[in-house]
């Protein structure tokens, strides 16, 4: 029976204590509580970000090299075009980082094989002029298109004269 008394006592105490441990309900405030933003983190000493050095690019000068034209079935440079090639050579000397490809062309008369060889001789004659003028050979290249890629697609002497040329391509 003593046990039963103890059990009853423990049970009574538990009943008394349970309401005391229950969560209290908070009555809502009559006015809404103003939300305060969290404080900002303390300011650290900020170093100005280092900017990469500004590299001033020089504007690339637009270089225009003129073409030269040849007589029918010839690859020697005409006297009137030597001044054109000298002007071109001076521009190349002033731009030592630029390379040049000289393309040789022919008119449509003659076989494909003959025109390819003649176009190469024309381009090579111009390259030889430049190397003799002082342009380093490793800056110069040449190739022939023969009668392919005509400048003027006509079939008369005026068109053919325009197609017998050495064309300068800067690289």
Q: From its phi and psi, is residue 134 left (phi > 0), alpha (psi between -120 and 50) or beta? A: left
Nearest partner of 75 among 126, 148, 130, 142, judged by Cα = 126
Q: Looking at the domain assignment, is residue 49 inside a domain?
A: no
pLDDT of residue 100: 97
CA distance 167 to 154: 19
Q: Looking at the domain assignment, is residue 65 inside a domain?
A: no
Domain that holds residue 85: 72-170
Is the whole model's pTM more than 0.85, yes or no? no
Q: Looking at the domain assignment, is residue 58 inside a domain?
A: no
To the nearest 10 degrees (0 to 180), the angle between helices 79-94 and 112-133 is 60
Give the pLDDT band of residue 73 (cuts 50, 70, 90).
very high
Place of tokens 């521009």: 91
CATH of the domain at 113: 3.30.1330.60
- Asked if residue 60 has pLDDT above 60, the reply is no
Q: Looking at the domain assignment, is residue 149 inside a domain?
A: yes
**Average pLDDT for the chain:** 83
Q: Looking at the domain assignment, is residue 98 inside a domain?
A: yes
Q: Looking at the domain assignment, is residue 114 inside a domain?
A: yes
């Amino acid at each position: 029976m003593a046990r039963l008394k103890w059990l009853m006592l423990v049970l009574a105490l538990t009943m008394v204590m349970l309401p005391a441990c229950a969560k209290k309900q908070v009555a809502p405030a009559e006015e809404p509580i103003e939300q305060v933003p969290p404080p900002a983190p303390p300011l650290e000493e900020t170093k100005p970000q280092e900017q990469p050095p500004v590299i001033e690019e020089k504007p690339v000068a637009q270089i225009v090299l003129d073409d030269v034209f040849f007589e029918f079935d010839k690859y020697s440079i005409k006297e009137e075009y030597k001044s054109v090639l000298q002007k071109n050579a001076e521009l190349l000397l002033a731009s030592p980082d630029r390379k040049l490809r000289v393309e040789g062309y022919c008119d449509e008369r003659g076989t494909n094989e003959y025109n390819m060889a003649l176009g190469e001789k024309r381009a090579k004659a111009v390259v030889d002029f430049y190397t003799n003028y002082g342009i380093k050979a490793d800056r110069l290249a040449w190739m022939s298109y023969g009668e392919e890629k005509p400048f003027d697609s006509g079939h008369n002497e005026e068109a053919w004269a325009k197609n017998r040329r050495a064309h300068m391509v800067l690289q």
